[in-house]
Amino acid sequence: MAILVTGAAGFIGSCLVSFLNERGLTDLILVDDFNRPEKSKNLEGKLFSAKIDRSIFLHDLPRHTIDFVFHIGARTDTTEFDVSIFDELNIRYSQALWKHCTSNNIPFLYASSAATYGGSEEGFDDDGAIHDLKPLNPYGQSKQDFDVWALAQEHTPPFWVGLKFFNVFGPNEYHKGRMASVVMHAFNQIALNGTLKLFQSHNPKYDHGQQIRDFIYVKDLLNLMWFWYQNQTCSGIYNAGTGTARTFNDLANAIFLALDKEPKINYIPTPIDIRDKYQYFTEAKMTKTRNAGYKSEFYQLEDAVAEYVQN
């Protein structure tokens, strides 16, 4: 069974390739921008049948027989404000894959984002009025635009699901630079000088470090994707978080604990370029996923951080 994985050399995509390999699935077609040598380590030791550059894959697509698509690839930089980049990579590319899957009867799973929820005025309910969401940046807007487009389609793949990824952390994210998770940045800072910098709060409702996120370990995210791969029944858009939000201070203390160090936190101003587009609270409502049959429990934050940091 040939499976397509886009974004295969990236953080989540490469973890997905490992996950599929561990389950005996090696007929994988990997798609990404393979011109970034710093990501090559993510695919070392992985088993796959083809590796095709993103720039040529859509032209190459008709000659491949594909049984399932994991469309994880996207431009994910929340500080990028060139809308044309997102239009090309996050909307038109996704639409082309959707149309191919529709025409060829291929199940289609794609990565949406919790960034679509914006300042959370409408809450984090994946069973709510998705059309009314107001993202805070072009990245979130591109994901929102594709979600709305998908819901409007009369012709669809035989099964499709969009997963709104919340704050994912785990192995293979070292190449992401500024966009890497807080866990990775914190580990590097603490290892270097024994202290951690967190953003100050510029919202009077939240004290410094009390900003709240739904942090999801990549292993939990992979289990969610595997569930939808195995249960191709209820097409639609679903949250991909834990349903339990925690503060940045909680996260920081978990990292210090995993490193057996005394917590030392300095709060610094949030950069001006993202300050007015900063989410202070995210928490996935997971009722819709549970009702679809997902039974697995999620990692506790402290356990996930310890496993990631110590391994």
Q: Which residues are catalytic?
A: 139, 176
Query: CB of 303 within 8 A of CB of 251?
Result: no
Specify the pairing of strand 160-165 against strand 108-113.
parallel
| Residue 72: both structure tokens together | 């994880």
Nearest to 90, CA basis, from 140, 143, 39: 143
Query: CB of 268 within 8 A of CB of 199?
Result: yes
Q: Which helix (H) or strand (E) holds 303?
A: helix 301-310
Query: CB of 17 within 8 A of CB of 30?
Result: yes
| Residue 198: both structure tokens together | 């967190």
Residue 34 burial (10 A CB sphere; 0-12, 13-18, 19+): middle
Nearby residues of 31 by Cβ (< 8 Å), 6 or more positions away: 4, 5, 6, 7, 8, 51, 52, 53, 54, 57, 73
Q: What are residue 25's phi and psi, to 5 degrees?
A: -100, 110
Convert 241-275 to b/e letters by CB count within 10 Å (16 or more is b). Answer: bbbebbbbbbbbbbbbebbeeeeebebeebeeeee
Q: Among all chains, which residue has been given the structure tokens 């996207």?
A: 74
CA distance 90 to 192: 36
